[in-house]
Amino acid sequence: MSRIIVFGGHGRIALLLAPLLVARGDEVTAIIRNPAHAAEVEQTGATPVVADIEELDVAALADLIRAHDAVVWSAGAGGGAPQRTYAVDRDAAIRTMDAAEAAGVRRYVMVSWLGSTAEHGIPEDDGFFPYADAKWAADEYLRGTDLEGTILAPGTLTLDSSTGRIELDPSGRGAVSRADVAAVIAATLEASPTIGRTIRFGNGAPESSEPIDVALAR
């Protein structure tokens, strides 16, 4: 059994992830901002904790993280003002990494996106640029820490059912169901070969995809 803390605990991926972790015996702490979401989170088997990650400093975040075995970052500003995108997707994410190190919790899984590279190609006058820029900065920061980090970079998210299969380094938009992203996170937390890797994936066509555990082991 592991104790997992999930930032962004009311997000669509997190709500699919928590039951997977609970079903295998893990304890899940779901960090949420809106107390009105607590009941829905509880239905997944996770324990909701209300906290505003935009406001908490490293010490306060370390208090939340301490006594867990792994951190999953699945939070995001969800678009809107660039200032808030940077505040959540970059700055708050980075503080949780510093907090994890301070708390002695080394395993850290970052949910990023397929196009998160230095050459993401999003022009600065594009409304998507702050997200692309913030995620790249957070990913790079994680690579520079001493954490046992994994960056998961799925393609375009869909509401399709889980297939249990993914394609690594897909071409194009790399569409993938949120259910399969949740399954990849769950598998990653148990797969030590994923430590130190950036894993870009989509669902792919049946002939080009493979079972999640097989793909992560490569």
* CATH code where residue 31 lies: 3.40.50.720
Averaged pLDDT for residues 56-79: 96
User: pTM for the complete prediction?
Assistant: 0.96
SS3 31: strand
Percentages helix, strand, coil for the chain, rounded to the nearest 5? 40, 20, 40
Which pLDDT score, from 0 to 100, does residue 142 have?
Answer: 98
Q: Give the model confidence (pLDDT) of 167-179 as tens digits.
A: 999 999 999 999 9
Q: Give the model confidence (pLDDT) of 38-64 as tens digits.
A: 999 999 999 999 999 999 999 999 999
**pLDDT of 118 above 90:** no
Query: Which residues are CB-contacts of 29 (< 8 A; sequence separation ≥ 6)?
Result: 3, 4, 5, 6, 9, 46, 47, 49, 64, 68
Averaged pLDDT for residues 92-109: 98
The total number of structural domains that make up the chain = 1
Averaged pLDDT for residues 96-105: 98
Residue 98's domain comprises 3-217
**How many CB atoms neighbour CB 193 within 10 A?**
11
